[in-house]
Amino acid sequence: MDVLLIGGGGNVTDALIEKLHKEGDRISVLTGDETKKHGYKHVFEEYAFSYDSNSIKEIFESVDPDVTIYMGAFDTNFDWNNAREESVRYSAGLLNILMAYSLVKCGKFVYLSSHEVFSRSYPNNIPEEQELAAKEFKAMVIAQGEELCKNYMQFENLDILILRLDHLCTVPENKSQVRDFCAEMCVEALRTGKVRASDRNQFSLLFLSDALEFINQILRAHTHRHGLYHLSSGRVISEMDLAKMVQAEMGSGISIQDDSVGAEYRVVLSPVRFQKEFDGKIFYEPEQIVKKTAEYIRSHKNRFLENDDRSRGFFGRLTQSGKSVFRAMLPFLENMIVFVPIFMLNNRAVDSRFFAKLDFYLLYVLLFALVYGQQQATFSAILATAGYCFRQMYTRSGFEVVMDYNTYVWVAQLFILGLVVGYMRDRLNLIRKEGKDEVQYLSGQIGDIQDINTSNVRIKNVLEEQIVNHNQSVGKVYDITSELDRYTPEEVMFYSSEVVGRLLDSRDVAIYTVANASFARLYSSTSERARELGYSIRYDQMEDLYKVIREQKVYINKQLTPGYPLLASGIFEEDEMQMIIMIWGIPWERMNLGLANLLTVIGYLIQNAVLRANRYQKALESERLMEGTKILEKDAFRTMVLAYSKAQLKGLTECALLAIPVQEEQLKAMGEKVGSLLRSTDYLGVVDDDNLYVLLANTNQEGAKVVIRRLQDMGCQAQYQEDLYI
C-alpha cells in the first residue's frame, strides 16, 4: 500500500512511519517545511514543500497514494504559542491540500484530530454525534479542519476519515516533545520536585502504541460505515490519580500540590462506535503509561533540563536578558559614538576659512539615513539639533537661539532631508526585498518542478526495475505460460495449474473441466486444500461464483464465504465455458483488482495452450481411437498413462489403472459396456491383447475399489494395477 504522510517530524510521526513500515507499506512524506529535509527512516520519498505550495497537486499525482494521512492536531510544523498567526497558516495549508486531493481523487484521506475540540465538561462519555465546543485558537482551527474535511467528503463525494484521538500520551525523547498530561507531570516533578493536580479534572489516556494499532486497523479496512471515529481507551482517570502514579514512579521526594478548585471538568471520548466495527483492545493501562514515561525521563533527565531557566539561575537569566537589550541598543550606541567626532569637527569648522560653509551635521544625518533608514535618521537629527543649539549658545543665550527663525529653518531642512532620504532608503530596500522574494519564489517553483521531476525519474527507475524483475511482469508471465508449449497435449492441463500457482504465488490451485451445464470435474490440482470441494462440483449451485464467471469476469471472494475459492475464473471457447480455475491460499491484502486482472491475462494465455492441445487431440482422434470405439490405441493410451503418472508424482492429480481380462473378439462390446459406467474424464485403452485397461482420472485407490465393485456387478473382473508404467 502506498501511503502519503503529511506532517512535520516528531515522535508521533516517527512512530507512525515505523508502524506503516512494519506493515510493508511504501511511505512518502510531505514535510511541510521547504527549508530542509528531515531524513526520515524507512521513507521511500521525502517532499520538502510547504503546505501552501502550488506543487501539492503534482505531489499527489506523483505518489498516487492509496492512503493520505494528514497529521492535523499532531503536526509539529505549527507553533501554537502564536496561535492567532498559526491558525491562518493551518487553515490555508489544509485547504490547499484538500483542493489538490479533490482534483486527483486518489485513495483514502485521513485527518487526525484530538479531544481538544471539546472545551467544556461532559457528564458522560462524548459520542461522535456531539456538537463541537472549541474555545482556544488551536482547538477552533482543528475543529474548522474537521468541518472542512466533512464538507469535501459530502460535496465532492471523497473517501475522507476523521479520527479524534483522546488525550494521546507518548514517551518524549526531549523537552520539545513534552505535550501531554503524563509527560508534563513527570517533567514538572523532575524540575521542581512537586506535581500540581486537581481531583476535579477527569480524562482518559490513550498510549501512542494503542493509537497506532487503531489507526492501522482502519487503514487496512476495505470499508467503513462512518466518516468519524473516536479513538479512546475509555478508562476514566482523574488528574489527582495520575499525579499519585507519577509520584510513585518518579522516586522519593516528590510532593503533590492539591489545586482542586472550581467545578468538575470531564472530557472523555466514547470508543463505542469504533469498538463495534473494529477490534478496540487496549494494551496499555494508565499505570503502564506512567511507568514507561517516567522511566525514560528519569534515565535521560539532562535532555529535559537543558536550556532551562531554573537550571541557569538568576545570573544566567540576567546575562541572557542583557544580551537581548544590548543587541537592540547597538544601532543607537553606534549613532551616539559617531556623533562625538561630528560635533568636534563642526566646532572646528565654524572658525575655519575653508570649511565654514560645510554642514557636518547634515552629512551626519544623511549618512545614518542612507545606512539605517528613517528610525536612525530621526535619532541622528535629534542629536544634531542638540549639538547645533549647544554650539550656538557659546556666543548667544539659549533664549536668543530658540527665538531665531534660522534655527527652525535649519532644523526643518535637517529633519525633512533626513526623513525623505531615510524613507527612500527603506522603500528601496522593501522593493528590493519584494523583488528578491519574488525571484526566490519563482526559483523555488523551478526547484520544486526539478525536485518532483527528479523524484519521478527515480521512482520510475525503481518501479521499472521492480517490474522487470517481478514475477508478475508481462514478460515473466508470458515466459512462464509459454512453458506449456513444451508439454504434450495430454500434459498441458496438468501443468496449467502449476503455472497459475507460480504466477499468483499460491500453493492451492485447482482446474475443473466443465462436463455439462451443471457439473464440472476436477482435472488438476496442486494440494489437498485445492481438492476440498471434491472431484465433482455443481457449479451452477454456487450462485455468487457462477454469476460472475459466466460473464467472463474474475470472481473475488471478498466476504471469505466458506465453500468458495478466494479467486475463480473461467476459460471459454466461443462463449462456451470449458474450464474453471480456482485459487486458494492468497493473503487478503493481495485480493484486489490488480490480481484479478493478472488472473485474466494468465487465463487467456493458458486458454490458448489448452484449446490448441484439445484441437490437436480432436484432429488426431481417428488415429488415436480404435475404429468404431472409444478405446485408445496402444501408443495413444501409453502416452496418456505416462502423462497421468508424471502428474501424479508431482502431486498435480490422482489416478488409478484397472485391467479387465477380455478376448480380442469381445473387446469392442466390452468397451461399450464398461464405457457406459465411466465418466467423461476417464479413458479406455489397450496395451496388450489380453486386457482392456481403464484409466480413472482424479481417483485414488479407495475410489478405484468402488469402480471395481460396480464392474464386478456387471460381470467384469477388474483388477487394480499398482504400477502405472505399462
Is the torsion defined by CA of 183, 184, 185, 188 positive or negative? positive
**388 versus 43: which is more confidently predicted?**
43
3-state secondary structure 245-257: HHHHHCCCCCEEE
Q: CA 601 to CA 194: how far, in whole Å?
A: 70
**655-661/719-721 β-pairing:** antiparallel
Q: What is the mean pLDDT of the chain?
A: 82
Q: CA 247 to CA 593: how far, in whole Å?
A: 55
Sequence-ordered list of residues with C-beta below 8 angstroms from that of 258, at least 6 positions apart, any chain: 197, 198, 199, 240
168 pLDDT higher than 80: yes
**457 versus 68: which is more confidently predicted?**
68
Region of 47 on the Ramachandran plot (φ > 0 left; ψ -120 to 50 alpha; else beta)? beta
Closest to 197 (Cα-Cα) out of 249, 248, 245, 243: 243
Q: CA 483 to CA 48: how far, in whole Å?
A: 48
10 pLDDT higher than 50: yes
* pLDDT for 663: 80
Average pLDDT over residues 163-174: 89
Q: CA 413 to CA 538: how far, in whole Å?
A: 108
Residue type, 233: S
For residue 20, what is its C-alpha cell? Answer: 506503516
37 pLDDT higher than 70: no
Per-residue pLDDT reduced to its tens digit, 410-443: 788 888 888 888 888 888 888 888 888 788 777 7
163 pLDDT higher than 90: yes
Sequence-ordered list of residues with C-beta below 8 angstroms from that of 642, at least 6 positions apart, any chain: 725
> In the structure, what pLDDT confidence band is assigned to residue 69 with cuts at 50, 70 and 90?
very high
112 pLDDT higher than 90: yes
Q: CA 425 to CA 160: how far, in whole Å?
A: 52
**403 versus 95: which is more confidently predicted?**
95
Cell 486386457 -> residue: 691
Per-residue pLDDT reduced to its tens digit, 658-697: 888 888 777 888 888 888 778 777 888 888 777 888 888 8
- Phi, then psi, of 41 in degrees rounded to 5: -80, 150
Domains assigned to the chain = 1-165 (3.40.50.720), 169-205+235-268+279-306 (3.90.25.10), 316-439 (no CATH), 487-619 (3.30.450.40), 622-721 (3.30.70.270)
Q: What is the pTM of this model?
A: 0.49
> In the structure, what pLDDT confidence band is assigned to residue 311 with cuts at 50, 70 and 90?
very low
Q: CA 645 to CA 721: how far, in whole Å?
A: 12
Region of 48 on the Ramachandran plot (φ > 0 left; ψ -120 to 50 alpha; else beta)? beta
For residue 695, what is its C-alpha cell? Answer: 484409466
Winning range, highest mean pLDDT, from 344-358, 447-461, 579-593: 579-593
Asked if residues 127 and 270 have their Cβ atoms less than 8 Å apart, the reply is: yes
Q: CA 183 to CA 177: how far, in whole Å?
A: 9
Q: Cβ of 344: how many Cβ atoms within 10 Å?
A: 12
612 pLDDT higher than 80: no
For residue 345, the Cα-to-chain-centroid distance in whole angstroms is 72
* pLDDT for 482: 64
* pLDDT for 230: 93
User: Mutual orientation of helices 405-469 and 374-392 as an angle, nearest 10°?
Assistant: 160
